[in-house]
Structure 1
């Protein structure tokens, strides 16, 4: 595979374009803002995200023309916040998506029905699971930008697609694992952002390492309950795409969800916290989607419940954590 079209202009998209161009994959890159497009084509730098990264302009062409970008490759990579995905898809002609392989790294539920990104693509564009793959794992954009050793998982039920994608992302600092559990890893990638957000709330309220360890342990248990209620989970919970991704989001200073949660824990409102950040914290939208999913499944998941009541019912974070304390095991 020598060409991929990338849709999305944030830090994670920039990190992935860096990897692809280093591997001499030709990238046509859709970014909404013309100033980003011009800067990338002129200098090889995204002025808004990871602007210290110099991309090889021989292998990347930026454009604000979405249909043009989609037409340039048989493989598309969507890297945008889940809340923006329906609006973006509404502007894409279904005929343009015919026969495309679609790779996503969208870590939130989509639309009013709280659909997985893979299910949403199947519903809107009739793209079968065999044409889809997802990127997941404990892989912050900032560390990839600095060539720090990272492990990433590509998931798809299609082994041929996995084998084509693997060399596009493998490098001296990036190890690629292949996995077939598309649905399970998608849910895990969404849930871990809620965990990061709640861990940030705990940090903002000055909880210590002892409580944080219990909180993360309970989060792992909640994830197991959620996956078992949705389908028969595999035996790979301890692998990097499940547990590893959850842990790095819970503990890392690079986690935007943890940062967002910390602001909430320190007493900022949701709106104030969002305005204080230059990037989207996916855990905010993911909380609403997973809360509704858990409710439909009749699951009592205290961590998700806490995040939802604080973020959407505007309950005091201090009193909600006192309640959460009593629900930890």
Structure 2
């Protein structure tokens, strides 16, 4: 009679280290005040060194319904995430909402603004009904300005600003880090690190780059690659601060940059295959290193204040796009 063997290959680690909080796979190391996985952790604990629970800072639940439904355990905080999609997919709204949700969680955030001046970048929040003035005042939001110094006449631009833009610009003045040479990748990286240090962003917060398209117009492809590689290492990996960047596919299947430099890629697309004469928006995760994700497309739409929301295939698209009366979605998934 053959011996019965368990088919369960999942390792069972009943104990966790009191210093690093990871499972203890081998013989535990006893300390004066706990149990540890290694001598390094035991000695660090004896020196009264403490480590936070890795689950508290190594995963980010974004608060955006379509994205979180595909990545239920959260996005690794050491990720550089590319939002890749054609025009009309609300890519800019998604980028803006990612920043806002971080601020809502009480975390700091940085926007690297290539595509718009700082006041226009902030106006995207106000246009959604998201008031970022308190975040600017409490030093939880900074704008790395890679736009203004590209203008041929900055003084004329400032003089023609509306009263509201002037007010927002003055309110945000202390939160803007100006980059005089936005075509210089190292200079942009230095400005980003200046903002990170000012907001004490380590193991908290989020950086958004708007957008890689504008960055690519200023830098050669190799230099864009170098910039992404550098900030991925010095911001995401070293600080556990995720970076999200938007880029258009420009009618092609994917962003033309070398995709292996990104830890995650979220695709946004338009499709007319689900509803006759209706171009629906869909979101899918193509790649995400270090996290499980559902390999499917989520249909979504956008509403000011609410942000992006998902709805299922059984939902009548006419209910979602009842623009006169607002969304009336009863079956989101």
| More helix, by proportion | 1
Q: TM class, shorter-chain normalised?
A: 0.3 to 0.5
| Greater relative contact order structure (CA < 8 Å, 6+ sep) | 2
| More strand, by proportion | 2
When normalised by structure 2's length, the TM-score is: 0.33
User: Which of structures 1 and 2 has the bigger CA Rg?
Assistant: 2
